[in-house]
Structure 1
Amino acid sequence: MKKHGILNSDIAKVLTDLGHTDKIAIGDAGLPIPEGVKKIDLAISLSDPSFIKILKVVLEDMKVEEAILAEEIKTHNPSQLKAVESALIEEERLVFISHEAFKRELKNVKAVIRTGEATPYSNIILQSGVLF
């Protein structure tokens, strides 16, 4: 049995397979996932698990060079934005795009991890960095 890191085999496999600049997303319960994009559904009930809990666990196991959020989070969910900013480290660039552009960008991710989060714009795209 695995001792450290993410135990969910689907998430662990996606992270292991990422190359430099590949992307994954973590989304709230309502995020539309494009057809053909792998969905890893962790939602067990509304608000459980939370977006920020899953983000923090993924960030412990993934080298991220860029994080993309919807611009709308700034006005519609500033407390979640603050939590995201606290979870990211300094070298991880934070980029804001419109929510419509964000949804279009989901076509380019390797997988979307769906949480039970029930607050607006609690979605992020993480672009993989490289360890060397």
Structure 2
Amino acid sequence: MIASMLQSGILNPHILQLIARIRHTNTVVIADWAFPYWPQIETVDISLTHGIPTVLDVLDLLTPVFKIGRIWQAEEFVSTNPQERVDRFAKSFGSIPLTREPHVDFKKRVPQAIGLIRTGDATPYGNIILESV
């Protein structure tokens, strides 16, 4: 018998279902453990414990299978995190266009997202919004 279950990549069925519904220019939020609940959008909570998984863990798994056209992040991320962390995010973002904007404006984009993936991350202002191509 051939095993039909997934063996690699994203294994969480809720994330797979969410990502499968995203179309051209739709957005999805990848957020930290303390990000507010938004009743108008679907939330997939994968937080296990403090720091596990991280926003970048999710992004790095999504990038090979999800066409990202743009990333949004709060501009406060740069001033509240050490350069090493800023560089790590930049490495994961690669050549994907990035827009940093005030946190207040970032949060105004959230209700228009198809869904939100809540992680265990504790990075200050490390939340991101991905827009599909």
Deviation by residue 1:22-46 (Cα, 9 ceiling, x = unmatched): 0001001111132221110010111
Question: What's the CA shift for 1:76?
Answer: 0.6
Match of 2:112 in 1: 108
The reply to whether residue 85 of structure 1 matches residue 86 of structure 2 is: no
Please report the TM-score for the alignment, with normalisation by the length of structure 2: 0.89
The reply to whether residue 45 of structure 1 matches residue 25 of structure 2 is: no
Structure whose CA Rg is larger: 2
**1:44, 1:116 within 8 Å by CA — same for their partners in 2?**
yes
Give 5+ residue unaligned stretches, structure 1. none
Question: What's the CA shift for 1:5?
Answer: 3.0
Match of 1:9 in 2: 13
The reply to whether residue 33 of structure 1 matches residue 12 of structure 2 is: no
> For residues 22 and 44 of structure 1, what CA distance do their matches in structure 2 show?
27
> For residues 80 and 110 of structure 1, what CA distance do their matches in structure 2 show?
28
Give 5+ residue unaligned stretches, structure 2. none
Question: What's the CA shift for 1:4?
Answer: 4.0
Q: Output the amino acid matched with 1:19.
A: R
Match of 1:74 in 2: 78
Deviation by residue 1:44-100 (Cα, 9 ceiling, x = unmatched): 11111122111111212210000000000010124333222101232x210011111
1:119 to 106, 119, 123: 123
> For residues 98 and 107 of structure 1, what CA distance do their matches in structure 2 show?
16
**1:24, 1:111 within 8 Å by CA — same for their partners in 2?**
yes
> For residues 44 and 4 of structure 1, what CA distance do their matches in structure 2 show?
19
Q: Output the amino acid matched with 1:66.
A: R
Aligned with 1:101: secondary structure?
helix
